[in-house]
Chains A and B, each alone.
Chain A
């Protein structure tokens, strides 16, 4: 792991942004992240949270599940959303929800109030951008943990470990999407439906953890890439990205860390 990367061969090293565990964010970091999400939710154009939420299901339906594009597509998705949030509040990064170790919904996403206001990470309006509202569409997010009977609840320690033991991309991807599916179904409500899941901000903390799992597995299995025949496949995002562009998180400008402590040097 490293803390800097070169965006181009002759470019100077640039400090990577670090995505952190939602439970380890400082009060200021969490407040900044909430502010970025709230401001993005107020935008009804292509900079806005609702526009990005619409990529996954209604109205655009661009997501990829249950196939080798699952991990690359969602990595690209998070990359573009994170940039949009950084346009609102510079320096914010997407936090991850470590459901391999934590039981229940993180407090940052479940407390009704935060910073003296409604907590936008707990409940959010659903405003579909660039689409005519149809009868029956939900108007706000909801969660219903355990609504599908007999769905195992987090933590998913064994499932995580089982995925990490995979030695091929195909095995890893499938094992990871399986536990990913379980978390979606366990949270239930908005998160339990592909068409609406991304309107709940917790979706992105869940997928940051999925992406973190891939990053960790990549570090342990260098060169274990997706099949060669999909590396040039375009991913439906805005702008589009190809699978091979998603393979190195350093070239996307970020890294994952459990903790980060930095002190001044001697210069």
Chain B
């Protein structure tokens, strides 16, 4: 299991939003498939931590991933478009953005919560403790 905890993210006043999403930007999916469980303000969360509102559990995302590279050399490299007229669809391994709606979990935090940390527990088949979840940035988006 890989545990990752974010830096603090600012939370706007509760009266200013109706929906909240966590956006994991640039998720890599060229490795093994994995599942990630997300907690708010619970950096000590572990595999045995109940996934309950009391533990500030926010939900899960699963990533159906590529697995090992079985092609020839370069098969899994993500090429740049060769010209402005390149109309081929994006390479299948292009990193993607994964969204987890956390409205209920964020709403359950005390009203004066000014910031949150996000702890992710990521599991793959091989029990790796590193490199399971790889992504570029995490954003908290709220919507009025």
Contacts and interface: CB of A to CB of B under 8 A. Distances in A.
B53 to A, nearest CB: 15
A63 interface: yes
Which of under 10, 10 to 19, 20 to 34, or 35 or more describes the interface residues of A? 35 or more
Contacts of A235: 89
Interface in A23-66: 57-59, 61, 63-66
Interface of B: 1, 27, 29, 33-35, 37, 47, 60-68, 70-71, 75, 87, 89-90, 92, 94, 96, 98-99, 121, 123-125, 127
A21 interface: no
A118 interface: no
A196 B66 CA distance: 9
Contacts of A137: 70
Contact of B89 (A58, A147, A151, A236): A236
Among B34, B62, B68, the one with the most A-chain Cβ atoms within 10 Å of its Cβ is B62
Contact of B125 (A64, A147, A174): A147
A181 B63 contact: yes
Contacts of A63: 92
A148 B33 contact: yes
A208 interface: no
A178 B38 CA distance: 15
Interface in A179-221: 180-182, 184-186, 188, 192-197
Given A148-B35, A150-B35, A194 B65 contact: yes
B35 A185 contact: yes
Nearest to A128: B70
Contact of B71 (A61, A65, A193): A61
Given A148-B123, A150-B123, A178 B67 contact: no
Given A65-B64, A150-B123, A192 B33 contact: yes
A184 B33 contact: yes
Chain B interface, DSSP helix/strand/loop, else mixed = loop
Nearest to A186: B62
B70 A67 contact: no
A259 B65 CA distance: 35
B90 A67 contact: yes
Given A64-B92, A236-B89, A184 B64 contact: yes
Among B33, B87, B123, the one with the most A-chain Cβ atoms within 10 Å of its Cβ is B33
Given A185-B34, A185-B64, A194-B65, A64 B89 contact: yes
A266 B90 CA distance: 55
A131 to B, nearest CB: 9
A65 B92 contact: yes
Given A67-B90, A147-B125, A185-B33, 8 more contacts: A67-B96, A149-B47, A150-B37, A152-B60, A184-B62, A192-B33, A192-B125, A194-B65
B64 A181 contact: yes
Task: Kindly list the 7 A-B residue pairs having the minimum CB-CB distance in the complex, ordered from nearest.
Answer: A66-B96, A193-B67, A181-B64, A182-B62, A184-B64, A181-B62, A185-B33
B105 to A, nearest CB: 14
Given A65-B92, A148-B33, A136 B70 contact: yes
22 contacts: A59-B71, A61-B71, A61-B75, A66-B27, A66-B96, A66-B98, A137-B70, A148-B34, A148-B35, A149-B1, A149-B47, A150-B35, A174-B99, A181-B64, A192-B67, A193-B67, A193-B68, A195-B66, A195-B67, A195-B68, A234-B87, A236-B89
